[in-house]
Structure 1
């Protein structure tokens, strides 16, 4: 008689109750966050006066619908829809205030998304963890000083991660489409979703959900008269606005730019390194089953690897890494995860300070904690797997036995270290 195959055991997730009790009450967190946001509210970034306010004034002067008849922004329409909604209150509040309120509303959506993720991961107090989003310095700077919209696409990415944990792949892809419709930076976390689609053998027809969602969010602008050709190429034009290898991004290229290398062309090398690392990441996780918090950890690693190696990154392109690192720390509750979150946050804040102050050296300094965080997060994954051939490893993961442990056990070991 054939023996029934048994899957390798998956280690249990430790309780996070002690760490959850250590978090401050929601009211205290929000009160401190209000003070932090108030301190930044009086400051105005250069992009606010150069871009955001003129866009807002155009919407007010032309009308919230007629404004979209012609291209007036290098941002994709979904964020401009939010500005159009805020323009209805233009007679009551100044333009800068309304733009920043839109950003704070995005932060609220992001906090709700984090709360949903933490509940799915079994955190003892998801509300307390979600409230910490408002208290992150990088989030406060992004919303209350710069008035940027990164919270919107980050919230969609967090919802996509939650859907991936629940194995709701159509929903995951829809949220990916929403994120991409807001900002091109959403592609920085795409390698983990691509790996999950491959590893879980999601039907190709479902893959179309993401681009169709993005297209659907562009249709209102197209219906108002915005040329379709312009909508289709808006992201292609954004990369041509500066020639620097890195623009205050806390990655390795900010360090390289500080070296006396003259006019040595490094763009090709940077792209090759990023593409190679992304391909290796996707291959690794397409052969390695992920569950629960390991999906979150892998998503964070995807952000750190892609944004850390790609050229032409900005100071704000690690925004989602800040959020995912916080979620990982709250859900895991161990010192290692909190250290990673602190390192990521330090790198992001120093990079933002480089942008605000105009001192590029701070970006090079910011790259150090970001690189350390990447290494500490990736280190458990650098251990040799049961079989380093991705195709054979995937088979081993499905046909494991007590005598031949699969990559599921390797995943469990990684989960234990993340936990």
Structure 2
């Protein structure tokens, strides 16, 4: 090796973390660039017409409701109309930016629990996995959806909740709610932790609601009803009704009679979650260490999307991210993560390319995995005590 080569090699070795980070970031951008011209059904029938409507009067269009999404996303979309660029590119770039923020947040979480620096191999690996994950890429760059935005704030909320930084956690939770109603899938976990920890007041939930409401302040000043932010979500729950939309669901084995089965599905979900809450309150399920904490959060989200009616293809997006966080804590959860992400990828492939739907076989496999995970989470609730003690010693 020549001296010049040796110098170059030393530089590469010294800055390998930064270089790998940049290479993965550029690769992620290039992959997303390939999806720039794909016009999904949601983009064609909803997002672009909403954008065009806002283009006429800019931000003042929001004096009235435009489309189906809540106010905060409308505000961002209205601001984007002032930038002279293709509307579809603007919509996708906003979500893509949060792809990177989400990947960074999850990678940073992995570094904290492994006590590694941000230029470590664990950071680079997790950052690359999240950034290049098929559901993450397809959601923003191809579909044009914004699930990375609410998931970013939901992830920050969960991390701060575990670290007992409750004000930050509930502020982030309120922002996540302002972007997507799907944040409701982790809300029962906060209720369980409220009864378990007994370290934060119920007023923190009011803080989240206030932050959610506050995100609509600019349009309230334009004359909108002060309760519109809440009304939009109430309206959303009555739209596009079906027992399931191309997602693993228990109701695939029963039928699609939403009018008669919807209430039953909600009651069954509440009963299952209620059992989880009872076990937490009785001390049979511990939530002290990271594995129990994030494992139970995953169980709650998974239970919601598997049993509730009106679940869509994208509704496991946050769950897929949470699985990666849980795998960072303990690799034994890798099979669950792979199965969940694979099902999400199949759902995206069906929606975008008509490439095969979720079948009863797939739903049966996920139900079997859920039963196994439920047994391990709820029946073995005290197995994490040693790990909790080890975490405390590290901290």
**Deviations 1:33-85, CA, capped at 9 Å, x for gaps:** 3453234333221010111111111222211x212111112111111222223
2:265 is aligned, of 250, 253, 270, to 270
Counterpart residue number, 1:83: 77
Matched, 1:381 2:373: no
Name which of 43, 49, 58 aligns with 1:54: 49
Give the conservation status (yes or no) of the 8 Å contact 1:329–1:337.
yes
Render the CA deviation track for 1:91-116: whole Å, top value 9, x for unaligned.
2x211111111110121221232133
Match of 2:193 among 187, 190, 196: 196
Q: What does the per-residue CA deviation read over 1:122-176, in whole Å, with 9 as the maximum and x for residues that have no partner?
A: 2642243123211010111110111111111111111111112111122211111
Which residue, 269, 290, 294 being the options, matches 2:292? 294
Moved over 6 A (4+): 413-416
Q: Which residue of 2 aligns with 1:167?
A: 164
For residues 293 and 383 of structure 1, do their structure 2 counterparts lie closer, same or farther at Cα, with a shift above 3 Å needed? closer
Q: 1:304, CA displacement in angstroms?
A: 0.5
Alignment correspondent of 2:100: 108
* Equivalence for 1:33: 28
Q: Distance in 2 between matches of 1:341 and 1:298?
A: 14
CA deviation string 1:358-414 (max 9, x = no partner): 5784254543453344334333224366xxxxxxxxxxxxxxxxxxxxxxx433379
User: How many angstroms apart in 1 are the aligned matches of 2:275 and 2:105?
Assistant: 29
Per-residue Cα deviation, 1:252-285 (whole angstroms, up to 9, x for no partner): 2234338xxx899322221111111121222323
In structure 1, how many angstroms separate the alpha carbons of the residues matched to 2:67 and 2:259?
Answer: 34
**Contact 1:351–1:363 at 8 Å: present in 2 too?**
no
Distance of 2:114 and 2:216 partners within structure 1: 36
Of 213, 224, 227, which aligns to 2:211?
Answer: 213
Per-residue CA deviation, residues 282-312 of structure 1 (Å, 9 max, x unaligned), is 2323433322232222211111111111111
Alignment of 1:270-419 (within 5 A): 270-286=265-281, 287=283, 288-332=286-330, 334=331, 336-357=332-353, 361-362=357-358, 364-383=360-379, 409-412=382-385
TM-score, structure 2 length as denominator?
0.83
2:127 aligns with 130
Q: Is the contact between residue 258 and residue 309 of structure 2 (CA under 8 Å) also seen in structure 1? A: no
The number of equivalent residue pairs is 363
Structure 2 counterpart of 1:145, from 142, 147, 151: 142
- Unmatched tracts of structure 1, length 5 or more: 1-23, 386-408
Most deviating of 231-240 and 107-116:
107-116
Q: 1:367 to 1:225 in 2, by over 3 A?
A: farther
Give the whole-Å Cα distance in 1 for the aligned partners of 2:387 and 2:307: 23
Find the aligned partners of 1:282 and 1:88 in 2 and give their Cα distance.
48
* Structure showing greater relative contact order (alpha-carbon pairs closer than 8 Å, 6 or more residues apart): 1
TM-score by length of 1: 0.79
Shift of 1:184: 0.7
On the 8 A contact 1:152/1:182 being kept in 2, the answer is yes
User: What does 1:205-284 align with in structure 2 at a 5 Å threshold?
Assistant: 205-257=203-255, 265-284=260-279
Quickly say closer, same or farther: Cα 1:109–1:195, change in 2 above 3 A.
same
CA contact 1:153–1:182 (8 Å) conserved in 2 = yes
CA distance in structure 1 between the aligned counterparts of 2:258 and 2:66, rounded to whole angstroms: 35
| Structure 1 residues 83 and 325: CA distance shift in structure 2, 3 A | same
In the alignment, which of 28, 37, 40 is matched to residue 42 of structure 1? 37
Q: Give the equivalent residue in structure 2 for 1:94.
A: 86
